A and B are shown apart, each in its own frame.
Chain A
């Protein structure tokens, strides 16, 4: 399967990944050969076969809705790259006038 540089760039954008020029160029060939390998699935007889998303047929588990202690703001913020007045500080999400 042939894959163009634009295809790699499009998927990288969907995956929210910046790629360097070298990375993108390497992925063109590598991903093409991996996608080629996937072609063999085409011959698998799956016409009437349901999909398996999970190995076990487990039921959803519900617990009693009982309040428990949380971890508290100091602990929750322990690994935050940027903090302001006890909150995670993040880049502006909405453009001006969008709110």
Chain B
């Protein structure tokens, strides 16, 4: 399959028709139904949009930077032309009145939103098993999870069904599935990309970002996605750089920090070896490494699983069954709320709402939410100190490669700890990227995480791109999808 870059270039130069690109994409999606990456695909609308691009080209009109590129969008991003379910029975049949700003920007740039991808309900989970519509499967091994919560988006890109997808990342939900599926996933710094139309989970942590096969495509997407939005009061006012032109510079002299806390207990030896191998590659490219410490890392998971559920318990209060969503019968108003939410929300979402409600409740606020908010300051401080000494921090994305379906569903705490290396970036508001860096003995992908300071995305994309020029892990296609790849 062509990359985002190649597709847009091919359509712009008339080497391929957008309609043919779309037909091929829809065929791949149809042939890969068993991995359940998509919740909704709109073939008719997508083909009509592709034909409009071909017609515009034949009339000699200027085409956007993503012209004719099919893109999948995580189903917690609002679309007025397709259902928006958040993977929840609560929103089955819900039809948004408007498009998320990121959806609008993609389509304005000529991309075509081909469908909505599966996710853990309301983006709460690390395996995509919490979807009310069934789990997504890992294209590298259908008995294993793709990670989560953007598991559908990561699986769709890994199986080469689409050249790119959007995910959202509250505690690792772009980077962790990207690592487990062997694709490239960027979580921009908080405020870099508009959250308008992203169904809120943890409002101080959520960010939308691209999942692609390589860093160059991520840069191309970021050129379209990044920048201030008047309808998101937390979007950063400063203009973003040109990410595509930033990636070509070599990384000689780049200072890379290796945090001691990310290479300790719990990290599988195979992941550790692959990450060290990747760091060696970066050294041969001229980067200098330095051992650093992020001393409050041990508190990050506990901090996150208080802050995020606290924000979620407040954000999800809107799902009350009155103005939209599922409404159940009840004797009075309170009973209608309780029955609607009891029936409409799944076990993990309820669990997090319960944790958040408890943490914010009278008598527990100081011990839990307030304490976690102060620990969050310590974690931010760790990164501020580190980035005064280094440009980029490198480490693993996940402690292990993809685990089996059902392996962690009965132990929520074990599932939470699979995010231990991705959570700190969200708490600190910094950016992070997952880059394919090898495979374990079973052939499952391993991700290298690079983290940068607030609005350091250009440096991360440059580092990742230079790494990908020297390696080919990102070119590896899951064996089950090689045949469709070759036929196309």
Contact = CB atoms under 8 A, between A and B. Distances in A.
A18 B234 CA distance: 34
Contacts of B338: 13, 16-18
A27 B333 contact: no
B233 interface: yes
A79 to B, nearest CB: 4
Contact of B374 (A12, A51, A78): A51
A9 B98 CA distance: 37
Interface stretch (B69-77, B315-323, B474-482): B315-323
A37 B299 CA distance: 10
Interface in A10-58: 11-20, 23, 26-27, 30-31, 33-35, 37-38, 40-42, 44-46, 49-56, 58
A50 B377 contact: yes
A38 B322 contact: no
Given A18-B339, A33-B413, A52-B377, A41 B354 contact: no
B104 interface: no
B355 interface: yes
Interface of A is mostly: loop
Interface of B is mostly: helix
Contacts of A71: 97-98
A17 B342 contact: yes
Interface string B356-371: 0110010000001011
A85 interface: no
Nearest to A20: B342
A27 B326 CA distance: 23
Contacts of B441: none
Interface residues of B, number: 72
A91 B328 CA distance: 11
**Which among B301, B354, B357 has the greatest number of chain A C-beta atoms within 10 A?**
B354
Nearest to B349: A17
B474 to A, nearest CB: 29
A91 B350 CA distance: 23
Nearest to A8: B354
A58 B354 contact: no
Contacts of B339: 18
B93 to A, nearest CB: 8
B376 to A, nearest CB: 4
A45 B336 CA distance: 44
B165 interface: no
B296 A44 contact: yes
A2 interface: no
Given A38-B302, A46-B375, A80-B323, A19 B236 contact: no
Contacts of A55: 190-191, 204-205, 380, 426-430, 454
A85 B125 CA distance: 41
Contacts of A92: 332-333
A18 B105 CA distance: 40
B230 interface: yes
B322 A90 contact: yes
B343 interface: yes
Interface string A42-86: 101110011111111010110100000001000110111110000
Interface of B: 94-95, 97-98, 190-191, 204-205, 230, 233-234, 236-237, 296, 298-299, 301-303, 305-306, 313, 317, 320-327, 330, 332-334, 336-339, 341-343, 345, 347, 350-351, 353-355, 357-358, 361, 368, 370-378, 380, 412-413, 416, 426-430, 454
Q: Which 10 A-B pairs have the closest CB atoms?
A: A55-B429, A18-B342, A51-B373, A79-B324, A81-B327, A46-B374, A15-B357, A16-B337, A52-B376, A18-B338
Interface of A: 8, 11-20, 23, 26-27, 30-31, 33-35, 37-38, 40-42, 44-46, 49-56, 58, 60-61, 63, 71, 75-76, 78-82, 88, 90-93
